Amino acid sequence: MVKDLLKKGYLFLVFFFLYAPILILVVFSFNQSKSRANWTGFTLDWYSQLFRDRQILDALYNTITIGVLSAVIATIIGTAAAIGIYNMKKYPRMMLMNVTYLPVLNPDIVTGIALMLLFIFMKMPLGYLTLLLAHITFNIPYVILSVLPKLMQLNKHIFEAAIDLGATPLYAYRKVVLPQISSGVITGLLIAFTLSIDDFVISFFTTGSGVSNVAITIYSMARRGINPKINALLTLMFSGVLVLLFIIYKRSLKENIEV
């Protein structure tokens, strides 16, 4: 009995420290005062001001478009790369996997400065395009690492059977392999999208004047003090993630019931 209580208490503390700051942020996005310590009354003014702030809306537009584009492109490239790595022989595959781990383990500041120097060397003006290319670059390894385990679980004879029955390799991959690894592909897509929205360091070094995402905008505003409009923005983003997770959960639950 005591052991069970300790386990539940420990679990409660873990989730409390994880989600209490987010709960405070959500609550104070409805606070009349700019104070982050005193509650003075309920209001929706900060949400109204948020949708009239052109700087924040432009940053949000850049964040979402770059997040979606980089996630989709990185998922396509990463899935193709994972299939290629999976079909390699043992030692080349191990060597390439070690290379794939490098961007994941590498500090963001090293990756950001390296990409910035590369774009300058190629005489590419820093802006929206370089920011998008940087996000695609650091997202690809995460997609590979999400898709590859699903390929490892796949029975090789399924693809060979499809070829024996007359399917072309491309058709067999599209109709036989991809449905089997779709959960890994979707996971990679979501991780890539989340990392793109969350990124600050690499974005800071690879963007130019006039182009910023939400992370850079918040950093710029934080030096003058956090405006409650930021609380409202982050509350909406958090709510969007919750809705997305709920849709994914319902989808996976439906698939399990059908199986």
Predicted pLDDT of residue 91: 85
Share of the chain above pLDDT 70, in %: 95
Which residues are 31's β-sheet partners? 42
Residue 259 has pLDDT above 60, yes or no: no
Tell me what the mean pLDDT of segment 81-102 comes to.
86
Q: What is the mean pLDDT of the chain?
A: 85
d(CA 97, CA 88): 11
Q: Are 135 and 196 in contact (CB under 8 A)?
A: yes
d(CA 178, CA 70): 20
Residue 112 has pLDDT above 80, yes or no: yes
Predicted pLDDT of residue 257: 59
42: helix, strand or coil: strand
Q: What is the pTM of this model?
A: 0.84
Sole residue written with tokens 């005591």:
2
159-177 pLDDT, tens per residue?
Answer: 778 877 777 778 888 888 8
Contacts of 230 (CB under 8 A, 6+ apart): 56, 218, 221
Residue 215 has pLDDT above 80, yes or no: yes
Predicted pLDDT of residue 190: 87
d(CA 76, CA 192): 11
Predicted pLDDT of residue 251: 64
Confidence of residue 258 (pLDDT cuts 50, 70, 90): low
Structure tokens at 124: 């590419």
Phi and psi at residue 23, to the nearest 5°: -60, -40
Domains of the chain: 60-225 (1.10.3720.10)
Predicted pLDDT of residue 228: 83
Predicted pLDDT of residue 138: 92
Tell me what the mean pLDDT of segment 232-240 comes to.
86
How big is the chain, counted in residues? 259
